Structure 1
Amino acid sequence: MTVRVGISGWRYRPWRGTFYPKGLPQRRELEYVAEHLRTVEINGSFYSLQRPDSYRAWYAQTPPGFVFAVKGGRFITHMKKLADVDTPLANFFASGVLALQEKLGPVLWQLPPNLGFDPGRLAAFFERLPRTTGAAARLAERHDQRLEGRAWTEPGEDRQLRHALEVRHDSFRDPAFTDLLRAHDVAVVVADTAGKWPLIAEATADFVYVRLHGDSELYVSGYDDAALDSWAGRIRQWHGDGHDVFVYFDNDVKVRAPVDAIALADRLTDLDLTEA
């Protein structure tokens, strides 16, 4: 079992000259993050399909053992609302995700606040998700013309592909929801959103995925020592129960995310240094 603590995204202008040393070239920011943390969440993939060259560059800029979580596209989650998504899923996986090779970690799917719990809709989506990189490569080959000439469909060594789901509607506070996730081996995202959206602190797969958006103010507030100690305790419990744990700080507005991530990782040094 392994614990990894990181940040959601890394290209933030306010971080330059604060977290990032003054004068550090933008092209070296990911490299700098990887000197301090063992994982990062790619969130540009949520807004648009990235390119294989970008994924290959990110792979090259990070050391062996580093892991990327990749956020699924909002076209799938927010516009299509998980319905009729065979081609969008193929396009997403053909966009270069598999070029991360052994550094590819969980895929994060974030639902919009206006999408409530619909067991049938979720089950149909879960059944379409590839569970290995080989299956993802076969799915990627079904991409449409938008990916012609820029698709990456090489699976590399066949590996497990994990999925996590973040929800933002109160109807998901239902035991039937977590039962459905367990049946499909999908991790519910343990999302701390300063009370705005549901916090479902359960393990529903063989790994736990945590997103820390802010302790008291969404995307803004940091985590004090007591809060970090509390999260460290939860993480130790999940790890002790046999789960891998991935934690990403998304409270980036006031440059708290990297500071808090490093502080939490320091509390888990004996676990965070475990080989994946």
Structure 2
Amino acid sequence: MATSGVIRTGIGGWTFEPWEGSFYPDTLPKKWQLEFASRKLTAIEVNGTYYSSQKPETFAKWAAEVPEDFVFSLKASRFVTNRRVLADAGESMRKFLTQGLTELGTRLGPILWQFAPTKKFDADDFAAFLALLPETQDGLGLRHVVEVRHPSFQVPEFIALLARHNVAVVCADHADYPMLPDVTADFVYCRLQKGSDDVSTCYPEDDLAAWATRLKCYAGGGRPGDLAAIAPERQADAAPRDVFAFFITGGKVNAPAGAQRLQERLAADG
């Protein structure tokens, strides 16, 4: 039996002009950027699916260009999450889930449902939303994670609600948004958003070392003691779990270097 889950580090998307000539070789055609990135990283969070739908052939093409063990996380449609009453999101959710994303097959990672910073916690509202999330689509198992960005969600009731549905909550390292480091599902999803373009590895080495330790703790079935839990008395399942860590927004110019350096640290630490 494995004593630790798989830890994947990555970035948001793969098309960004400042990466040309820094992360990507100068002579690399744009059409080969995904293939190149997927050989340097272990996961990519796709932001484009938040704004518009894709064709099944597009998802199939992405899957064909990356290694077997590479994973795409997809940000779910804004038409699902940007609404006052989440119980009314069923049809928009169906459209998102049936657009062909299962063409990714085993390369389909967590689906990220991101909510506006103004969206406040309402237990009944979110219970209705979580009840809509399917466990499978076209026979393929789904993993769901929510990113909430209002401090009203920092309550044990929200953590317990997610745990009942095996839905993860984003552990956001962000200057303004609340951090929720609790384990509520059989995987953990971190978004590291405090990077700097002035730091060659996006995050300073000391911070990368700290996150490497935290990710290993999560993967081994624990919860990092240096991150204050919202529901500290709650005991999550201590089984090994997969962990995802994406360098997003802050320090985007050097995000690929940060993801690679963090992966190197994890490998070196065993």
Q: TM-score range by the shorter chain?
A: 0.7 to 0.9
Q: Return structure 1 stretches of 4+ with deviation > 3 angstroms.
A: 251-254
Which residue of structure 2 lines up, in the alignment, with residue 173 of structure 1? 154
Aligned AA (2:178): P
Residue aligned with 1:256, SS: helix
1:3 and 1:271 in contact (8 A); partners too = no
Aligned AA (2:164): A
Residue aligned with 1:56, SS: helix
Identity %: 42
Per the normalisation by structure 1, the TM-score is 0.84
1:192 and 1:215 in contact (8 A); partners too = no
| Inter-CA distance 34–128: structure 2 relative to 1 (3 Å threshold) | same
Q: 2 CA distance for matches of 1:91 and 1:252?
A: 31
Say which of 191, 212, 216 aligns to 1:211: 191
Q: 2 CA distance for matches of 1:28 and 1:44?
A: 18
- 2:123 is aligned with 1:125: no
Per the normalisation by structure 2, the TM-score is 0.86
Residue aligned with 2:145, SS: strand
Say which of 191, 195, 198 aligns to 2:172: 191
How many aligned residue pairs are there? 246
Residue 222 of structure 1: CA displacement? 2.4
- 2:1 is aligned with 1:3: no
Residue aligned with 1:268, SS: helix
Residue 82 of structure 1: CA displacement? 2.6
Residue 74 of structure 1: CA displacement? 0.8
| Inter-CA distance 26–80: structure 2 relative to 1 (3 Å threshold) | farther
TM-align CA RMSD: 2.0
Aligned AA (1:175): P
1:2 and 1:271 in contact (8 A); partners too = no
Matches within 5 A, 1:201-240: 201-215=181-195, 222-240=202-220
Which residue of structure 2 lines up, in the alignment, with residue 243 of structure 1? 241
Q: 2 CA distance for matches of 1:82 and 1:33?
A: 35
Q: 2 CA distance for matches of 1:40 and 1:165?
A: 17
Residue aligned with 2:146, SS: strand
Structure 1 alignment gaps of length 5 or more:
137-154
Which residue of structure 1 lines up, in the alignment, with residue 71 of structure 2? 67
C-alpha offsets along residues 9-60 of structure 1, whole Å, 9 cap, x if unaligned? 1111111111111021111111111111111111100111122121111111
2:195 and 2:252 in contact (8 A); partners too = no
Say which of 52, 58, 70 aligns to 1:54: 58
| Inter-CA distance 203–182: structure 2 relative to 1 (3 Å threshold) | same
Which residue of structure 2 lines up, in the alignment, with residue 164 of structure 1? 145
